[in-house]
Amino acid sequence: MSTALAPLDTARIRAEFPLLATPFHERKLVYLDSAVSGQMPSPVIERMAHYERFEHTNVHRGVSTLSQEATDRFEEAREKVRAFINAPSTKEIIWTRGTTEALNLVAQSWGRTNIQAGDELLLSAMEHHANIVPWQMLAAEKGATIKVIPMNDEGELLLDGLDELITGRTKVLGLTHVSNALGTINPVKAIVAKAKARGVVTVIDGAQAVPHLPVDVRDLDCDFYAFSGHKLSGPTGIGVLYGRKELLEAMPPWHGGGNMILSVSWEKTTYMGLPGKFEAGTPPIAAAIGLGAAIDYLAALGLERIAAHDAALLAYATEQLSAIPGLRIIGTAKAKASVLSFVLDGVHSHDVGSILDHEGIVVRAGHHCAQPVMARMKVPATTRASFTYFNDAADVDALVAALLKVKEIFG
């Protein structure tokens, strides 16, 4: 493996992940499942523990010094997220529970206000269920229809027909930046430009993109961008919706309660401005601060360096796995991020996953919450290895050795 940038010191990085140093089935743990959930490095865990031990209270509540300090830490994390994706303003950064909740917020708040019977919602063929089901629920409620941008056998979107797919009735485009099941990196900027030229609102699912690629929402020029903390070396329970200010301002709140109001009376209730309008109730404060710490951690490693490392490791893994007889990689797009899905002739993915697990190798086997992708690729399921900045060539070699064992067992 070689990278143009100074390579990451994976041994030093791994030392910051207690779980990776803990024996697993009496073996070294090889974690190739960061697309399911990234592991958290010690500085992130410690930052959250520090908040819980010494800073814990509620935010945006009253004048107590503790509450003001917790609010400052919480809002600093929002600023870190803003800078991380180069959003113009922290008013455009809404905390959610994750990508799923962020996408539901758009479908419920923007969608229910703007979608009418006969409208068309355009989605790509490689969406995660989180960017399908909320739109199906909306379409069913409103009498709208869903159209799909198809893909080829390699797992690349077929964009030649995009101009015809977008009609005068198309209101919204839902598009994943990186496919969780195939690894494809979609040309989001070009697709957004086309959609925008036709007045279509663009909703980008960035869950699998932010851990691997530097993301700039101003450059992408999308209207919404969603991602989860736990795939970005942060905790579960926190996610982000970036939304263009004009759109967010025009959208109604979707959850009501404390924190999101200016005043409440029996006669009339008025709402906070952005971002509070979309953040009813007590937020996951430690998780938000933890996500801020995760962003600091990644920035210190260097986002470009991480991207180069991940790309080199994926190339090595692709070459090594391709050499295994009877193994077929599902998702062979030219532009890919750190996901390697495959099927092994005559062996069910769940059996592959279980045997790898016994060998100390964690992968995901199944449909990856992308059943339409499995149907398109004509496979019931795949085994998926996903790589990140703490993985190295030895992890890939361990995977290959274990896969050869699987083949031996199944003859």
Residues pairing with 225 in the sheet: 204, 242
Nearest CB to ligand 7TS, comparing residues 170 and 228: 228
Asked if 128 touches ligand 7TS (CB under 6 A), the answer is yes
Residue (39 or 100) nearer to ligand 7TS, CB: 100
Rg (C-alpha) for the chain, rounded Å, is: 22
Q: Which positions are catalytic?
A: 369
Q: Shortest gap between Cβ of 323 and ligand 7TS (angstroms)?
A: 26
**Which DSSP string do the residues of 207-232 spell out, in sequence order?**
TTTTTTS---HHHHT-SEEEEESTTT
Report the distance separating Cα 345 and Cα 328, nearest Å: 8
Q: How far is the CB of 174 from ligand 7TS (least distance, A)?
A: 10
In the list 108, 176, 349, 382, the residue contacting ligand 7TS (rule: CB under 6 A) is: 176
Residue (302 or 366) nearer to ligand 7TS, CB: 366
The strand pair at 327-330 and 339-344 is best described as antiparallel
Q: Any contact of residue 39 with ligand 7TS (CB under 6 A)?
A: no
**Residue 99 C-beta: closest distance to ligand 7TS, Å:** 4
Q: Token pair for residue 282?
A: 């007590």
Cβ 180 to ligand 7TS shortest distance, Å: 3
The smaller minimum CB distance to ligand 7TS, of residues 205 and 392, is found at 205
> Is 174 near ligand 7TS (CB under 6 A)?
no
Q: Which is nearer to ligand 7TS, 47 or 177 (CB)?
A: 177
Smallest gap, in angstroms, from Cβ of residue 17 to ligand 7TS?
19
Instruction: Decide whether 130 or 396 has the Cβ nearer to ligand 7TS.
Output: 130
Q: How far is CA 145 from CA 13, 191, 269, in A?
A: 48, 20, 35
The beta-carbon contacts of 396-399 under 8 Å, at least 24 apart in sequence, are: 396/313, 396/316, 396/317, 396/320, 397/320, 398/28, 398/30, 398/359, 398/360, 398/361, 399/30, 399/32, 399/317, 399/320, 399/321, 399/356, 399/361, 399/363
Cβ proximity to ligand 7TS: between 99 and 391 the closer is: 99
Closest C-alpha to 226, from 78, 83, 369, 94: 94
108 lines the binding site for ligand 7TS (CB under 6 A): no
Query: What is the C-alpha to C-alpha distance for residues 156 and 153, in angstroms, rounded to an integer?
Result: 8
CB of 104 to ligand 7TS, least distance (A): 9
Q: Does 36 bind ligand 7TS (CB under 6 A)?
A: yes
Cα gap 260→276, rounded to integer Å: 5
383 forms part of the interface with ligand 7TS (CB under 6 A): no
With beta carbons less than 8 A apart as the criterion, state whether 341 and 181 touch. yes
Q: Least distance in Å: CB of 33 to ligand 7TS?
A: 8
| 323 residue type, one letter | A
Please, what is the angle between helix 285-301 and helix 303-322, to 10°?
80
Q: Which stretch binds ligand 7TS (CB under 6 A): 93-101, 107-115, 156-164, 375-383?
A: 93-101
148 near ligand 7TS, judged by CB under 6 A: no
Q: Is the peptide bond before 187 cis (omega within 30 degrees of 0)?
A: no
Site for ligand 7TS in 254-313 (CB under 6 A): none
Binding mask of the shown chain, residues 56 to 75, with x at each position contacting ligand 7TS by CB under 6 A: --------------------
Residue 100, interface with ligand 7TS (CB under 6 A)? yes
Q: On the CB side of 170, how many CA atoms lie within 13 Å of its CA?
A: 23
Dihedral sign, Cα of residue 149, residue 146, residue 240, residue 237: negative
35 binds ligand 7TS (CB under 6 A): yes
**205 binds ligand 7TS, rule: CB under 6 A:** yes
- In our burial notation (b when 16+ CB lie closer than 10 A, e otherwise), range 31-59 reads bbbbbbbbbbbebbbebbeebeeebebbb
Please, which residue, 66 or 379, has the CB nearer to ligand 7TS?
Answer: 379
Closest approach of ligand 7TS to the CB of residue 228, in Å: 3
- Candidates 92-100, 146-154, 305-313, 354-362; binding stretch for ligand 7TS (CB under 6 A): 92-100
Residues 318-377 that bind ligand 7TS (CB under 6 A): 364, 368-369
* 211: its two tokens: 């851990």
Within 61-205, strands assigned E span 93-96, 120-124, 145-149, 170-176, 201-205
- 361-362 and 120-124 strand pairing: unpaired
- Check binding of 133 to ligand 7TS (CB under 6 A): no
Residues that bind ligand 7TS (CB under 6 A): 35-36, 98-100, 128, 130, 176, 180, 205, 207-208, 228, 364, 368-369
